[in-house]
Chain A
């Protein structure tokens, strides 16, 4: 187990270093002077000169990277070229909103996915299963931002059930307000991932239903409900954990457009604003954070999986 974790960690480090190089080099891919890109379009020549010295832009390129990396390791990702706020602070203010949206979406996704996935695994040839298949196909084909528009038309404009602009209301401060504001974007994202997860639940449940231990359990006279809940589902859950983990990872930064539709103040919309206003320090910081977070979640999921299913370590 220990050596497995170490091996995974050793894969993790070079990827993050690579990401840091790519993110840092972004500034040099932008047309024009890197100092201008980092300080912003409205900066005075003095400010640009000062930034050059502060960021070491007058030094050799390799040295510049290590200066930047040194700052990044101390959680100093520079300042926003627009607001002047430290990038780390800016991100920290958005992360709770992103997490709340991710949790809401995942709850909706799982609540939709499990009954559908189980139903279609148990009755593979029924009309219900065909309907579920159609639902999954539609859930994956329909763009989330368009669902967002439809929801706004239906539930905010026609019927004034939800606000058409979703603010971040912390759940523990005001559960009702949080629900009202987060429900529609979470429904968009939740339906989408329910399509992915349901398909996965169906596949792994069907596979575990065909195993010998299921036949044994049936032969022993375990009632069908017990066969499914205690034997088949438990084994089918394991691979599902992985896909759920990966989806959580993709919620960081993968929700840009949905957040824009609902004007939801998460990380996604911060990145969107940064891209439209060419706020490169913020783009750099956000991408780096997302890569690190995604890989960390992956690592945790893999290690968890290996812990639950020791066969994985041998691969």
Chain B
């Protein structure tokens, strides 16, 4: 397993799953993002939203890491901070081994990393034609002349399953699914190494979702691009991702291969999430774990384990000591004091 243990050197944690030959294309280490909470007449800083608290993961070439969690868990903030749309409070992001800092030219970063947004109706510039939208990254890089860019637009259109005669239409003339194809084409325009997809299908109809997911799969097979796929939808993540990271209240609570996480979840939160997914087999039953209480405020997260206020297994130790994200039974990493106990729930 190539996910390294917390605090150790990035290259040293690998055991064998056939991946150790590959180096991660994107490494995120101890990423923290706090937002100030201001109040009163003078905008006094009265606290901080702990949106992302010490998050680490890696994304490998040609693979997809799914980042799942409820809304408000910090998964989108994580994606945006990695892309430098938000300045991280602390932590390190490495792209192909190169550290990204505040001094990194955003234009250089954009050559290797691209972003696909959630809302296909809002993420395209409404004043530019589809072709111009798709080749904006080239224009910004100053790559090619108008004719070359148009040729590239045509190529990208063919890639994502759009027709040539649609090149000069405005975004408003496309359906949601088509627009998301345009958004994906734009992200691939510079042949980046990593694409961060922030809930790319959650705004689409279910039938269209499947088409777009299959498109993403095909594109990944063709181009060897790595995806960081952010979603709240466990079935979508299962369909697409090689590995899965589960986030709760700004922290990753469990991370591992898809099969491991889905078939044998170790963290009580993952177990609860999976128990809520509808079962496609008629008559099949499962014990649904219903979480008690509300999501605590990220301004004032619980001491110790952040999940303890809603955890069915919580003990005294959970309030005192924060569980580390660590390997309990080999490959999978989980942050829970009682991860080894009782896995019979699913």
Contact = CB atoms under 8 A, between A and B. Distances in A.
Interface in B34-57: 40-41
A3 interface: yes
Contacts of B40: 3
Interface size class of A (residues with CB under 8 A): under 10
A7 interface: yes
Interface string A1-40: 0010011001000000000000000000000000000000
Interface string B223-241: 0000000000000000000
B15 to A, nearest CB: 53
Interface in A61-76: none
B25 to A, nearest CB: 44
Contacts of A7: 41
Interface residues of B, number: 2
Interface in B275-300: none
Nearest to A7: B41
A10 B41 CA distance: 9
Contacts of A10: 41
Contacts of B41: 3, 6-7, 10
A14 to B, nearest CB: 14
Contacts, number: 5
Nearest to B43: A7
B37 to A, nearest CB: 15
Contacts of A6: 41
A7 B41 CA distance: 6
A6 B41 CA distance: 7
A14 B70 CA distance: 45
A54 B41 CA distance: 40
Contacts of A3: 40-41
A154 to B, nearest CB: 52
A314 to B, nearest CB: 13
Interface in B16-46: 40-41
A3 B41 CA distance: 6
Interface string A127-171: 000000000000000000000000000000000000000000000
A119 B41 CA distance: 43
A7 B38 CA distance: 14
A6 B40 CA distance: 10
A212 to B, nearest CB: 26
A7 B40 CA distance: 9
A254 B258 CA distance: 72
Nearest to B40: A3
A3 to B, nearest CB: 6
A8 to B, nearest CB: 10
A230 B194 CA distance: 60
A169 B291 CA distance: 77
Nearest to A5: B41
A1 to B, nearest CB: 13
A249 B41 CA distance: 26
A3 B40 CA distance: 7
Nearest to B42: A10
Interface in A253-276: none
A46 B41 CA distance: 52
Nearest to A10: B41
A27 B12 CA distance: 75
A292 to B, nearest CB: 22
A308 to B, nearest CB: 22
A306 to B, nearest CB: 15
Interface string B310-337: 0000000000000000000000000000
Nearest to A3: B41
Interface string B174-201: 0000000000000000000000000000
B55 to A, nearest CB: 32
Nearest to B39: A3
A121 B40 CA distance: 41
A116 B40 CA distance: 43
A145 to B, nearest CB: 42
A3 B39 CA distance: 10
A6 B43 CA distance: 13
B293 to A, nearest CB: 27
A7 B42 CA distance: 8
B342 to A, nearest CB: 47
Nearest to A2: B41
A6 B39 CA distance: 13
A299 to B, nearest CB: 15
A313 to B, nearest CB: 12
A222 B41 CA distance: 45
B264 to A, nearest CB: 47
Nearest to A4: B41
B314 to A, nearest CB: 36
B210 to A, nearest CB: 37
Interface in B137-165: none
A258 to B, nearest CB: 41
Nearest to A6: B41
A285 B39 CA distance: 38
A3 B44 CA distance: 13
B205 to A, nearest CB: 28
A159 to B, nearest CB: 59
A253 to B, nearest CB: 31
5 contacts: A3-B40, A3-B41, A6-B41, A7-B41, A10-B41
Interface of B: 40-41
Sorted from nearest, which 5 A-B pairs have the closest CB atoms?
A6-B41, A7-B41, A3-B41, A3-B40, A10-B41
